[in-house]
Structure 1
Amino acid sequence: MEGPLTAVPGAGSRLRGSRCADCAVAAYPADPACPRCGGPAEPVVLSGTGTLWTWTVQRYAPKSPPYVPPAAGFTPFTVGYVELPEGVRVLAVLDVRPEDAEIGMPVSVTAGDGVPRAAGAAV
């Protein structure tokens, strides 16, 4: 099975997860086995939009290594869980200012450089 951020033809930069062939539970990242029943799971392309489930501001630089601080230094950023229609909650860096973040707001989700990214979606 390919990695969860692997490009899928026609999927653009959407996240890749898996869905159980037996009980239909979706998972992210993709896994060959179902987290609920242990049955076989097939790769799926997940929805590109969801709702912001919760969020916070990361005010401290992650531990290094593996984090490599940028030349300009660390800048706090917003992170949150986005709930997709498949029932999966994905942790993503939010391209939303903290004062604009609101639980339940619609967001779009894309595969980023190693981590999912979410931005406010047009309503």
Structure 2
Amino acid sequence: MEGPLSTAPDTGSRLHGSRCADCAVATYPAGPACPRCGGPAEPVVLSCAGTLWTWTVQRYAPKSPPYVPPAAGFTPFTVGYVELPEGVRVLAALDVPPEEAEIGMPVTITVGDGVPRARGVAV
């Protein structure tokens, strides 16, 4: 099974999750078994469009290590959960200014710098 943030030539930088062969529950990151029924899970490429389920601003630097602050110092950033059509909620760094973030807004999500990243979609 592929890693949860892996990319494949035919999927670009899309997230990879898994779907239960028995009850159809989708999960992220990918896993070998269903967390609901324990049945076998198959790899699945997740949708790249979703909605912002909730969000907050990270106003303090993460613990170091593993975080390495940039030379210019820590800058607060927006993070949130993006709900995908498969029913999966993915934690992502948001490329959305806090003053523009709104629960329910459409976003696109991709793999970026080791963590999922989401951008607001113009409506």
Runs of 4+ in structure 1 over 6 Å off: none
Paired residues for 1:1-123 under 5 Å:
1-123=1-123
Unaligned runs of 5+ in 2: none
Letter in 2 for 1:68: V
d(CA) in 1 for partners of 2:46 and 2:39? 19
CA deviation profile, 1:47-97 (whole Å, cap 9, x unmatched):
001000000000000000000000000000000000000000000000000
Please, what TM-score do these two structures have when normalized by structure 2? 0.98
CA shift digits 1:3-34 (9 cap, x unpaired): 11111231111100000000000000000100
Q: Which amino acid aligns with 2:9?
A: P
Alignment coverage as a number of residue pairs: 123
Aligned Cα root-mean-square deviation (Å): 0.7
Q: Secondary structure at the match of 2:99?
A: helix
Runs (5+) with no aligned partner, structure 1: none
| Cα shift at 1:122 | 2.9
